[in-house]
Structure 1
Amino acid sequence: MTEFAWLALGGFILLAYTLEAITGFGGTLVALSLGALLLPIHDLLPVLVPLNILMSGALAWHHRRLVQWRLLLFTVLPGMLVGTLVGYGLRPWLEDSAMRLGFGVLILCVALRELLRGAPSGRAPAWMIRLQTGAAGISHGLFASGGPLLVHALAGSALDKSRLRATLLCVWFGLNSLLTLAFLADGSLAPALPRVAAYAPLLILGVPAGEYLHKRLAEAHFRTAIHLLLGLCGVLLCCRAQAFG
């Protein structure tokens, strides 16, 4: 059963990082949501985070001219960095059942909100953006999945989808590099490296497919499908956490 779960994770990774190549976020969230139905979150993160470094680093470099550096350096990274450190510090205190339940509730709330909300009503106050960015960082430290909360915080930034994607990819490359160093320090990275190497070739398929679809297909349709999938995963994760907690 365990080997089947790791094999299934390969399919989840291919789907998830194709979607992230389209939108600039959500790859780790989708892979972790689906993978957590079969495997412990603590085992998944040291595999998924280094894979995301490879994908986000390659795409961020390719689209570096589109990165909004002022927004990245002065608005996004400070709050995300502090929040990520706080979230990572909380991980050892949480059991896997609590992680599943918390993560399930988080992605269910995000999915429902994104499915129900209309167009952004305007730019939020600066203090609200910083608060939401910090919350996104905590989510990233806990689950390596701060994308939906960060995108919500930047909803009024008036960036087109290509500039927003390029800027988000730089965020994930920086923060996931930091998390990978933390996994190296706590000893969880080394056992995961063979699986990282085994899954890495999937990015060669997923990234070009995502690039192709990013240019040609309506992003809104993909986001709707992603959030429907995440909503289902959130329900299943909450039920699993209650059953085995």
Structure 2
Amino acid sequence: MDMLWLTLAAFILLAYTLEAITGFGSIVIALSLGAMLLPIDQLLPVLVPLNICMTGYLTWRHRAMIDRRLLLGMILPGMLVGTVIGYALLPWLDATLAKRLFGALVLWFAARELWRLRHAAVQPVRPMWLSRLLSLGAGVSHGLFASGGPLLVFALAGTQLDKARLRATLVSVWFTLNSLLTLAFLLDGRLLPALPQIAAYAPLLLLGVWLGEYLHRRCNEQHFRVAIYLLLLITGTLLLSPWSLL
């Protein structure tokens, strides 16, 4: 088990480094790789509190760029309701089924992003009702796996937000929802046993941010995005494979 948690440390460092380079969600990457080693319900109480540190810092630093009208009027209402639904469903899901569902989500998102990058596809503007419905689904995914990013980014496709405002708005969503999930983990008794792992992994966040910013100034961001999506594509396939022992 110690070796498994040590390997998870490498995955966490990779995930936060890649997020610092590309802005991509660290939990999706860390949970995708970590789910090949440990059950999802053991990973979430570690990864979610760690995520608060990075998103809290980014939310405060870029608070002036947050689109509060979009955040409060469209994103958070559906995401909050969906997160509660997803959190309530998690104890009823078989561990193998949960892993397969998460694998399908990761596989879909990675394949979609690779196709979009390959074809330079323009995101269509969606009607508000569909964006709200997708936000609800993103909340359910976040409640189950703390990984609502793929569906929420899909829901917000075609918005008029520039890159900086969109990123600031999204990290404020993750900070809000992951704070609530951390409180839920505290109340259901899963947070306290995870505190030693959280404390042990916390320095990796600083290293990941520093390393990511260093690489961001020297490397092509799109190449890193392609590498991430390819990695997630392989991971999603492994999570779905019938011969997987995970």
TM-score by length of 1: 0.93
Given that residues 25 and 168 in structure 1 are in contact (C-alpha distance below 8 angstroms), is that contact kept between their aligned partners in structure 2? no
Comparing 222-231 and 164-173, the one that deviates more: 222-231
Show the counterpart of 1:160.
162
Show the counterpart of 1:229.
231
Comparing 177-186 and 66-75, the one that deviates more: 66-75
Equivalents in 1 of 2:28, 2:175: separation in Å?
Answer: 15
Show the counterpart of 1:19.
18
C-alpha change, 1:214 and 1:20, in structure 2 (3 Å) is same
Equivalents in 2 of 1:146, 1:67: separation in Å?
Answer: 18
1:165-187 CA-partner distances (Å, limit 9, x unpaired): 11111000000000001101110
Given that residues 16 and 27 in structure 1 are in contact (C-alpha distance below 8 angstroms), is that contact kept between their aligned partners in structure 2? yes
Given that residues 136 and 149 in structure 1 are in contact (C-alpha distance below 8 angstroms), is that contact kept between their aligned partners in structure 2? yes
Where in structure 1 are there 5+ consecutive unaligned residues? none
Show the counterpart of 2:61.
62
1:208-235 CA-partner distances (Å, limit 9, x unpaired): 3334555665543332221111110001
AA in 2 matched with 1:131: L
AA in 2 matched with 1:79: G
1:110-161 CA-partner distances (Å, limit 9, x unpaired): 1111111342343111011111111111110000001111111112113222
1:3-30 CA-partner distances (Å, limit 9, x unpaired): 1110011111111122223444420010
Show the counterpart of 1:47.
46
Residue 81 of structure 2 is aligned to residue 79 of structure 1: no
2:30 is paired with a residue whose SS is helix
C-alpha change, 1:216 and 1:79, in structure 2 (3 Å) is farther
Show the counterpart of 1:203.
205
TM-score by length of 2: 0.92
1:191 is paired with a residue whose SS is helix
1:120 is paired with a residue whose SS is coil
AA in 2 matched with 1:8: T
Where in structure 2 are there 5+ consecutive unaligned residues? none
Equivalents in 1 of 2:243, 2:102: separation in Å?
Answer: 13
Given that residues 51 and 196 in structure 1 are in contact (C-alpha distance below 8 angstroms), is that contact kept between their aligned partners in structure 2? yes
Given that residues 23 and 161 in structure 1 are in contact (C-alpha distance below 8 angstroms), is that contact kept between their aligned partners in structure 2? no
Given that residues 65 and 164 in structure 2 are in contact (C-alpha distance below 8 angstroms), is that contact kept between their aligned partners in structure 1? yes
Indicate the percent of aligned positions where both proteins have the same amino acid.
Answer: 63
Residue 172 of structure 2 is aligned to residue 173 of structure 1: no
C-alpha change, 1:214 and 1:174, in structure 2 (3 Å) is farther
Show the counterpart of 1:187.
189
AA in 2 matched with 1:50: P
Equivalents in 1 of 2:131, 2:173: separation in Å?
Answer: 16
Show the counterpart of 2:126.
124
CA RMSD of aligned residues (A): 1.8
The size of the alignment, in residue pairs, is: 243
Given that residues 238 and 244 in structure 2 are in contact (C-alpha distance below 8 angstroms), is that contact kept between their aligned partners in structure 1? no
Residue 8 of structure 2 is aligned to residue 9 of structure 1: yes
